[in-house]
């Protein structure tokens, strides 16, 4: 499995059978570009009311809470909390690995939802403050969920029009082994024993 981050909440998860794209966004709104995919799965972490279930590229689109099975991928789209009723948290089961994507949440998910995502192998968590979690809130969630790998999202990068904090404070607060990569290639057997921080270059 390959995981690539493009900025904000946009991540592409890919293996030889399927491609998932989470939270693609507009170049004009953000100043950065996201990829296009075909015949894959697109997940949106903000509830959308008028999106088609399939787009014109043959992608299966998920934009409301529920449980989905698409091409041997199990996807649990969970409402984040009553405070953010329009936000979706994802748990994705692929290749015997459990991936958690928290989208652009500003508030900590409810205890019920934390129970649903507790123990996920890979956690993609927003850390940039402003309109998403602060680095302290994000670090606190990591300690609750106890993932094997943490991938920070939603923080300041080059060309981004939106004002966010950088990733440095979160990295220092977390205080675990840190690795910087262009892309994460991972199999179940490669998951570390202790939590590690993977910073992906966009």
Task: Report how many domains make up the chain.
Answer: 1
Continuous H helices in 31-188? 111-117, 135-145, 168-174
* pLDDT tens column, 52-87: 688 888 999 999 999 999 988 999 999 998 888 889
This prediction has a pTM of 0.94
72 neighbors 17 (Cβ within 8 angstroms): yes
**What is the number of other CB atoms lying within 10 angstroms of the CB of residue 189?**
6
Query: Residue 70 belongs to a domain with what CATH number?
Result: 3.60.15.10
Task: Give the C-alpha distances (Å, rounded to integers) separating 168 from 52, 136, 159.
Answer: 39, 12, 18
* 29-43, 118-132, 162-176, range with the lowest pLDDT: 29-43
Domain housing 16: 2-200
Whole-angstrom Cα distance, residue 106 to residue 86? Answer: 12
Collect all residues with Cβ–Cβ distance below 8 Å to 50 and sequence separation of at least 6: none
**What is the number of other CB atoms lying within 10 angstroms of the CB of residue 12?**
19
């Amino acid at each position: 499995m390959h995981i690539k981050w493009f900025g904000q909440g946009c991540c592409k998860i890919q293996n030889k059978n399927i491609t998932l794209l989470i939270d693609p966004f507009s170049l004009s709104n953000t100043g950065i570009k996201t990829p296009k995919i075909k015949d894959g799965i697109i997940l949106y972490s903000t509830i959308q009311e008028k999106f088609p279930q399939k787009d014109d590229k043959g992608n299966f689109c998920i934009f409301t809470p529920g449980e989905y099975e698409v091409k041997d991928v199990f996807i649990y789209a969970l409402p984040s909390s009553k405070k953010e009723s329009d936000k979706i948290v994802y748990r994705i089961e692929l290749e015997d690995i459990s991936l958690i994507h928290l989208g652009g949440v500003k508030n900590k998910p409810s205890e019920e939802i934390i129970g649903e995502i507790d123990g996920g192998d890979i956690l993609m968590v927003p850390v940039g403050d402003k309109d998403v979690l602060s680095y302290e809130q994000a670090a606190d969630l990591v300690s609750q969920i106890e993932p094997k790998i943490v991938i920070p999202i939603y923080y300041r990068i080059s060309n981004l029009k939106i004002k966010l904090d950088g990733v440095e404070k979160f990295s220092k607060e977390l205080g675990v082994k840190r690795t910087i990569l262009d892309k994460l290639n991972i199999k179940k057997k490669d998951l570390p024993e202790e939590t590690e921080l993977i910073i992906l270059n966009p």
